Amino acid sequence: MPPAASPPLSILDLAIVSRGTTAGDALGASVVLARRAEERGYRRVWYAEHHNMPSIASSATAVLIAHVAAHTRSIRLGAGGVMLPNHAPLVIAEQFGTLATLHPGRIDLGLGRAPGTDQRTWRALRRDPSAAESFPQDVLELQGYLSGQSRIPGVEAMPGAGTEVPLFILGSSLFGAKLAAVLGLPYAFASHFAPEALREAVAQYRRDFEPSAQLERPHVIAGVNVVAADEEQDAQDQFHRVVRRRTASILGGGRRFTDEELDGLLRSPQGQRVARMMRYSAVGAPEAVRSYLESFADHADADELILAHASPTIETRLRSLDLVADAWGLRRPARGQDDGPPAPLAAEPRGTGTPT
């Protein structure tokens, strides 16, 4: 069992659509995953905004959060994150203000500056390519709506005003680190797919952090891929399939590759670059994964780890989640006497498709 000072663990769920399954299966699996995470003592589950990616079904984060929240009791749920340049701050304040009103004390709002998609889809979203330049001002505008102190006279978020939904700045560069520090907000680094600037960005954030009404001390969340299995070789085989799927998703533009084509792509410079994106990955039997996560938390100077359980199917992701919870010594949360059962699912997800 890890020492008491070990950081809490959270989960990043991309609602993965494996080959042979549907978006409905993936969204149903997200409910099952969140329920299990709640039962096993994970701190929060976040969903990331991605568009025009056939293998990811978490594009409408607020809708997915609402659905999962209705089928869970207490675990924190949030966007990890909303790509704010794609949206008007008032709309996001209303959406997450509604969520916080329906599920008080359970909603997080992580904010990113990237579009979360390609240029063609960016145009389909009717967004201005220069919108990212106003990200700091948009964060402040959104913060004003949620605090009930709107920066635009006569404009209030309803619901939203006064809900004080906690904000997190997401990033993979020094820009996000500096902004989170100046605003006194928690900083989540996307080291699970953009590892290069992790240590420099975290150091910058901690050095420049200014306390705020939301946060007295800096708080760093670092992302890491996880594939835990009962046997080492099984975990390595699963991870190999994950790398293949990730390579096809990033480089394929929605195209389906034959095995031979994908083998060639993996050997290409572009394929090797995708593999390097997954540098921070804990893969293996439970004790090996625990040891890696402890070392990674120290390396990242992280207060919290957010795990992307990347296993190919919902069954293997659930097993990975359980194995890590046991190895880390997570405590199952105590239930209040008035807690009723969560809403039933219409159907369990299939989750048995063969991934790329």
- The pLDDT tens digits of the residues spanning 310-319 come to 898 999 999 9
Q: What's the domain range around 231?
A: 9-328
C-alpha distances in Å from residue 354, one per residue of 170, 245, 255? 32, 11, 16
State the total domains in the chain. 1
What is the number of other CB atoms lying within 10 angstroms of the CB of residue 152?
11
Return the CATH number at 222: 3.20.20.30
Q: How far is CA 107 from the centre of its chain?
A: 13
87-99 residue pLDDT tens: 999 999 999 999 9
Angle at 323 between CA 318 and CA 329, to 5 degrees: 125
Q: Is residue 297 part of a domain?
A: yes
Q: Is residue 172 part of a domain?
A: yes
Q: Rounded to the nearest 10 degrees, what angle do helices 259-267 and 269-277 cross at?
A: 80
Q: Is residue 355 part of a domain?
A: no
- Contacts of 102-106 spanning 24+ positions with Cβ under 8 A: 102/66, 102/69, 103/69, 103/77, 106/69, 106/74, 106/75, 106/76, 106/77
Q: Is residue 354 part of a domain?
A: no
* Residue that wins the pLDDT comparison between 129 and 165: 165
Q: Is residue 204 part of a domain?
A: yes
Name residue, tokens 């699912």: 345
Q: Is residue 351 part of a domain?
A: no
**Weakest-pLDDT range from 75-79, 119-123, 254-258, 301-305:** 119-123
Query: What's the predicted TM-score (pTM) here?
Result: 0.89
C-alpha distances in Å from residue 6, one per residue of 162, 195, 225, 280? 33, 22, 18, 18
Model pLDDT, residue 210: 98
Model pLDDT, residue 264: 84
What is the number of other CB atoms lying within 10 angstroms of the CB of residue 106?
18
> What mean pLDDT is reported for the chain?
89
Model pLDDT, residue 189: 98
Q: Is residue 337 part of a domain?
A: no
Q: Is residue 35 part of a domain?
A: yes
